[in-house]
A and B are shown apart, each in its own frame.
Chain A
Amino acid sequence: MNSSFANIKAIVKRELVSYFASPVAYVFLVIFLLLTGFFTFTVGNFFERGEANLSAFFAWHPWLYLVLVPAVGMRVWSEERRAGTMELLLTMPVNPWEAILAKFLASWIFLGIALALTFPIAVTANVLGDPDNGQILAGYFGSLFLSGAYLAITCMTSAMTRNQVISFILSVVLCLFLILAGFNPVTDMLTRWANPAVVEIVAAFSVVTHFDGFQKGVIDTRDLFFFLSVIGFALFATSVIIRNHRAG
């Protein structure tokens, strides 16, 4: 178990170092921060709302992450396959699940850093009004899990192909499905020709439904369980894909 931890640590460190060794990481951070700012203040009318909360900020996250998380995660495995380093990594005395988990964690930490850098928005709300900081914290927490779920899906699609573009498109489509299943216009349309129980089941698969609670400041174990099971399932699927790829 000790060696598992050491292996995971080594791979996480390597991934993070290589993220920050390339300009892509900084470009991503800047774009992410610009877009969150733009959506919160300009499109979300943060000031005009006159509310001391960050709902104008968090409401955009499922959509922002839809493009940005696949952009971060698309290279995770496809690049290893393309460069042939997967062979190197998997012939080291490392369990495949250690490598899969470590690579996921590294990218998640990177997304966490990007999210943490949005702290001026929380500060702004605190300067201008008197928001419920517990609610804000819950929102950040939910946003982190939301990005984790998208990321795990992207890891899975990334393991399927050596082409990063295909990996990107596949993960955007899958994540879009997870949004749309609970997106109001879609659920409204569904209610017209399906019975409410079915609509509810479909909506239960949506990240939007489960992210809502966090935004309101409620950390529900069911929502947490949902995100963790999406992550767990996608990473398990990643391991199956990698094993099948090697089995030929």
Chain B
Amino acid sequence: MIRIANLTKSFGLKTAVNDLSFEVQRGEVLGFLGPNGAGKSTTMRMITGFLPPTAGSITVGGHDVVESPLEAKRLIGYLPENAASYPDMSVHGFLAFAAELRGLAGAAKKKAVARVVDLCFLESVLYQQIDTLSKGYKHRTCLAQALIHDPEVLIMDEPTDGLDPNQKHEVRNLIREMGRTKAVIFSTHILEEVDAACSRAIIIDRGRIVANGTPEELKAMSELAGAVTLGVEGTAPQPVAERLAALPAVARVEPLANGMLRSYPKDKLASAELARSIMELAARETWKVAALRTEEGHLDEVFRRITLPDTIKQQRT
């Protein structure tokens, strides 16, 4: 649905987005991650046709965003950063206005407004002026605007920013739900959202893609991924650590603050073998095993590692 090729955007001398290429299919939810100022919003503004790209091309549903902007824009629902909306309008007036600009009129307009009001739980504030609403409601009003024409492509810039945990949960569910039938891109810097809602994630830093994969693949990039953590009762940790380190599959053993021992595998792909060999060892030594688990890896560790300035410099040179 969305195809981005060699997309570049410069503001004066500063390059905000640098040679970005990726695709999003229908039925996919793409999480767009990156530190502040990485170029997430700029990329989304270009996809939605607000900013013209300096170089490269964007097609949405087969329509080039620069060549035939109206056709592309018709397919897109967009939730801008900070969920801007007209403060002096009522929620109903605002949604009706969005519906009209989307070419809906009469009964179709009424139906569309009623549908999104229901979807975003706006019933109780329908005739309130937008600037009297709480942040959560404002946000959902703008989200409702993005969904009003049941778009095939949904682009959301930090859709859960400023929401309380319950609202975040609702919005994530909504994103997952939308992702079944639409192509969805959303940006966030909350990493747990990637797990909760994405089928794929891209991490960008300084305008470049530095990682692209499913949440599982990204987590596997973590140093922690595949490590086995073992807790033993009644035996001093030191000798246990020595025995673990002697296993052929173990690269190194790290004692944790809570007395547990973490063994890192030599080969990340063979973490099952590592767990098995540790279990066998524990059985042979008759240790009282209190805990044994294989680590999945943390996204935030991956994120920090690949977006930290120094690491990036090393990678580039």
Which A residues lie at the B interface, using CB under 8 A?
3, 6-7, 9-11, 13-14, 17-18, 21-22, 83-85, 87-88, 90-95, 246-248
Contact = CB atoms under 8 A, between A and B. Distances in A.
Contact of B52 (A6, A84, A247): A247
Interface stretch (B69-77, B271-279, B292-300): B69-77
A11 B97 CA distance: 8
B102 A92 contact: yes
A84 B86 contact: no
A83 B84 contact: yes
A59 B82 CA distance: 47
B145 A88 contact: yes
Interface residues of B, number: 35
A91 B73 contact: yes
B270 interface: no
A94 B97 CA distance: 12
B194 to A, nearest CB: 25
Given A17-B89, A17-B93, A246-B51, A87 B84 contact: yes
Contacts of B88: 18, 21-22
A94 B85 contact: no
Contact of B84 (A17, A18, A88): A88
Q: Sort A-B residue pairs by CB-CB distance and give the 5 closest, nearest first.
A: A84-B84, A10-B100, A248-B11, A93-B73, A91-B48
B86 A83 contact: yes
Contacts of B48: 91
Contacts of A85: 84-86
A6 B100 contact: yes
A85 B50 CA distance: 11
Nearest to A9: B100
Contact of A93 (B10, B12, B97, B101): B101
A91 B101 contact: no
Contacts of A3: 103
Contacts of A93: 70, 73-74, 101-103
17 contacts: A6-B100, A7-B101, A13-B100, A22-B88, A87-B45, A87-B84, A88-B78, A88-B80, A88-B84, A91-B49, A91-B73, A91-B76, A92-B102, A93-B102, A93-B103, A247-B51, A248-B10
B81 interface: yes
Given A6-B103, A91-B48, A92-B101, A18 B74 contact: no
B50 A90 contact: yes
B89 A18 contact: yes
A92 B103 CA distance: 10
